[in-house]
A and B are shown apart, each in its own frame.
Chain A
C-alpha cells in the first residue's frame, strides 16, 4: 500500500463506516476491512474498479463531479479522499458533499507550491513534471492543482476544520516539523471535521 494510504488509514478510527472517494484498486478499504471498518468505495476507472471488485470491496462506479448526491447526509463516519481532489472538475462541490456525508474526513493532496515545482517553473519556465505530478500539462488528470494554504482555505469555506496536517515528502513519507510546510512538502494528509 502507498505510504500515504498507511497514514490515511491510521487516521480512520477502528469500526468506522468509511466512504472512500476515488478508491482506486481498493487497497485502503481492504486494509481497513481488517480493522472492521465497513466501507464503500467510489471509482470510475474500469481497471481500478475491477481490481476493487476482485478484492471483495463494495465499489460504486459513480462520477464524483455529478453523482455524490446519491449519498445521504451523515450516512458514513468518515469520508476519505486520497490524491483525488485535484482530478475533479468541481473541487468545492466535492468538499461540500464530504462535509455533508460524514462528520469527519481524511484527505491527501499534492502541493503545487512544493519548492521543486516552484524551482522548475521559475528556472526552466516550464510546467513541473515530477513523481507527484507525473503528467505533461495536456494529458494530466490533475486539472485543479492547488497549494496547501489554498486547499485549507477551501475546506474551511465549506465547513471543514483541520484537526491534523501531516506534511509529506516526495516519497509520501512524513516530514519532520511544520515550519515552511507549503515550501517543503510535496503533499499533505489532512484529518478534518465538520464545524
Chain B
C-alpha cells in the first residue's frame, strides 16, 4: 500500500544567532528545509527512518500531493507493509542543502544582500548536507534515528551520518553509492558542468533575475547523466534501435531514434524542476566526497564501531556508474574497523537506477535489515 495524501512542510533550522557551520569554514545564517514525513513517531521516539535523496531528488519521496497518479520518487519502498513500513516507522525525507526544491540553496535569497546567492553560495560538502538533516531530526524531537537510508548521493549522506554522528544513527543503508568517485565518474560530472557553464545564458553564474537561465546546458547535462544511470542492456531492451515516429530511418539530424527522443524528454522535463547552479554545487560535492581520507577518518570509524551502528551496503551488478567495487571499498573500510556490515551485490538489469526500482531481492534485504531492532 502507498501512503496517501501528503504535504511538504518547511522549517527554519538556522538563523543569524544560530548559523549552520559548513566544512568550508563559512556559515549559513538562514537555512530553511523542506521535508515530508510518513507514519507516526512512536512515544519512545525511536522509530524514525530518514531517507536521503540523490542528486536531483526532493522531499516528496512517497504518497501524492493531490494527483494520485503522480507519486513520490520512492513510493515503491515507503508505505504500509513496504520495506520502509509506515505502520512501523516514522519516515522523514528532506530536500538536501544546496538543492532547489524548498531547501536553502544557491537560488535562495541571501539575507545579507536581499538577492539570490548565485555563485556567492558557499561550496558544500556531503557533511554539510548531513548537518542540515541532523538539525531537522533534532527539531522533530528525535535523539537517535533507527536508520538512515539512501541511494547514490543519498547513500553517501547515510554513510557520512553514521561516521560523523554514530550515536544518532542505529544503522545506515547505503545503496548504489561510493565513498570516492573514480576518474571516470568525475569526468562525466565535469562534462555536465561544462555544458552548463559554457551556455551563454549561464552569464558567469549571475543569471538569476536576468529572465534567462542556462537551459540548453542544463538539459545536455541531464541527458548525459541519464545515460550513466542506465545499463546498456536496459537501453537496448527499452529502445533498441527503434525509430520514434516511423518504421524506417528518415536520415537526418533530427530526433529519429527512440533513445534520442527519450533523452530529449529527460533533458527538457528536468528544466522545469531543477536549477543549474544547484546542479553545479551538488555534483561538485560528489566529486570531492572522500570520507575515508578525512583527517579524522580512523577516529570516526572507531567511534562508529563502538556505537554499534550497523551498516547495510548494496550494489547492483549492472550499475556501471558506481559499480560493485565502489561498494566493496566501503565494506572493507567498515569491516576492517569492526563496524557490523552486511553487503550484497544484487542482480538487476536496470543499471544505477536500480536503487529506485522495486527489485524484489533488494527490497526483501532492506526490509529484513530494517526490521531488526
Are chains A and B native binding partners rather than an unrelated pairing? Answer: yes
In chain A, positions 45-72 with a C-beta closer than 8 Å to chain B are 46, 49-50, 52-62, 70-72
Interface 0/1 of B337-354, CB less than 8 Å to A = 010111111000000000
Q: How many chain B residues touch A (Cβ–Cβ < 8 Å)?
A: 21
A60 CB contact (under 8 Å) in B341, B364, B365, B371: B341
For residue B372, which residues in chain A have a CB less than 8 angstroms away from its CB?
53-56
Contact flag A75-B342 (CB < 8 Å), given A50-B368, A60-B331: no
B260 at interface by CB-CB < 8 Å: no
B340 CB contact (under 8 Å) in A54, A58, A61: A58
Report whether A70 and B332 are in contact in the complex, using a CB–CB cutoff of 8 Å.
yes
B310 CB contact (under 8 Å) in A38, A49, A58, A62: A58
Report whether A70 and B369 are in contact in the complex, using a CB–CB cutoff of 8 Å.
no
Report whether B342 and A54 are in contact in the complex, using a CB–CB cutoff of 8 Å.
no
Contact flag A75-B336 (CB < 8 Å), given A53-B369, A54-B372, A60-B331: yes
Interface 0/1 of A5-43, CB less than 8 Å to B = 000000000000100000000000000000000101000
- Which A residue sits closest to B347, measured CB to CB? A46
- How many Å lie between the Cα of A52 and that of B345 in the bound state? 15
In chain B, positions 319-373 with a C-beta closer than 8 Å to chain A are 328, 331-332, 335-336, 338, 340-345, 361, 364-365, 368-369, 371-372
A50 CB contact (under 8 Å) in B328, B336, B341, B364: B364
For residue B310, which residues in chain A have a CB less than 8 angstroms away from its CB?
58
- How many Å lie between the Cα of A63 and that of B310 in the bound state? 22
For residue B341, which residues in chain A have a CB less than 8 angstroms away from its CB?
40, 58, 60
For residue A40, which residues in chain B have a CB less than 8 angstroms away from its CB?
335, 340-341
Contact flag A38-B342 (CB < 8 Å), given A54-B368, A54-B372: no
- How many Å lie between the Cα of A49 and that of B368 in the bound state? 11
- Shortest CB-to-CB span from B57 to chain A, Å, is 26
Report whether A38 and B338 are in contact in the complex, using a CB–CB cutoff of 8 Å.
yes
Most chain A Cβ neighbours within 10 Å, of B331, B368, B369: B368
- Which A residue sits closest to B339, measured CB to CB? A58
- How many Å lie between the Cα of A192 and that of B341 in the bound state? 27
- Shortest CB-to-CB span from A41 to chain B, Å, is 9
For residue B338, which residues in chain A have a CB less than 8 angstroms away from its CB?
17, 38
Report whether A72 and B364 are in contact in the complex, using a CB–CB cutoff of 8 Å.
no
- How many Å lie between the Cα of A123 and that of B369 in the bound state? 51
- Which A residue sits closest to B305, measured CB to CB? A38
Contact flag A53-B368 (CB < 8 Å), given A40-B335, A70-B332, A70-B335: yes
- How many Å lie between the Cα of A154 and that of B244 in the bound state? 63
Report whether B340 and A46 are in contact in the complex, using a CB–CB cutoff of 8 Å.
no
- How many Å lie between the Cα of A72 and that of B332 in the bound state? 9
Report whether B343 and A60 are in contact in the complex, using a CB–CB cutoff of 8 Å.
yes
- Which A residue sits closest to B334, measured CB to CB? A58
For residue A52, which residues in chain B have a CB less than 8 angstroms away from its CB?
342
- Shortest CB-to-CB span from A42 to chain B, Å, is 10
- Shortest CB-to-CB span from B293 to chain A, Å, is 18
- Shortest CB-to-CB span from B315 to chain A, Å, is 10
For residue B335, which residues in chain A have a CB less than 8 angstroms away from its CB?
40, 60, 70-71, 75
- Shortest CB-to-CB span from B171 to chain A, Å, is 10
- Shortest CB-to-CB span from B338 to chain A, Å, is 7
A53 CB contact (under 8 Å) in B328, B336, B345, B365: B365
- Which A residue sits closest to B345, measured CB to CB? A61
- Shortest CB-to-CB span from A91 to chain B, Å, is 24
- How many Å lie between the Cα of A17 and that of B331 in the bound state? 17
- How many Å lie between the Cα of A46 and that of B346 in the bound state? 9
Report whether A59 and B342 are in contact in the complex, using a CB–CB cutoff of 8 Å.
yes
For residue B342, which residues in chain A have a CB less than 8 angstroms away from its CB?
52-53, 57-60
- Shortest CB-to-CB span from A47 to chain B, Å, is 10
Contact flag A50-B365 (CB < 8 Å), given A38-B338, A70-B331, A75-B336: yes
- How many Å lie between the Cα of A54 and that of B369 in the bound state? 6
- Which B residue sits closest to A67, measured CB to CB? B328
Interface 0/1 of A131-146, CB less than 8 Å to B = 0000000000000000
For residue A46, which residues in chain B have a CB less than 8 angstroms away from its CB?
344, 361
- Shortest CB-to-CB span from A33 to chain B, Å, is 10
- How many Å lie between the Cα of A81 and that of B270 in the bound state? 52
- Which A residue sits closest to B313, measured CB to CB? A60
Report whether B344 and A70 are in contact in the complex, using a CB–CB cutoff of 8 Å.
no
In chain B, positions 276-320 with a C-beta closer than 8 Å to chain A are 310, 312
- How many Å lie between the Cα of A55 and that of B342 in the bound state? 12
For residue B344, which residues in chain A have a CB less than 8 angstroms away from its CB?
46, 49, 60-61
- Shortest CB-to-CB span from A172 to chain B, Å, is 28
Query: What are 30 contact pairs spanning A and B, CB under 8 A?
Result: A17-B338, A38-B338, A38-B340, A40-B335, A40-B340, A40-B341, A46-B361, A50-B361, A50-B364, A50-B365, A50-B368, A53-B312, A53-B342, A53-B368, A54-B371, A55-B372, A58-B310, A58-B340, A59-B342, A59-B343, A60-B331, A60-B341, A60-B344, A61-B344, A61-B345, A70-B328, A70-B332, A70-B335, A71-B335, A72-B336
Could you list 4 further interchain pairs (A-B, Cβ under 8 angstroms) beyond the known A53-B369, A60-B331? A46-B344, A53-B312, A58-B342, A62-B343
A-B pairs with the 9 shortest C-beta distances? A61-B344, A58-B340, A56-B372, A53-B368, A54-B368, A60-B343, A59-B342, A58-B342, A53-B369
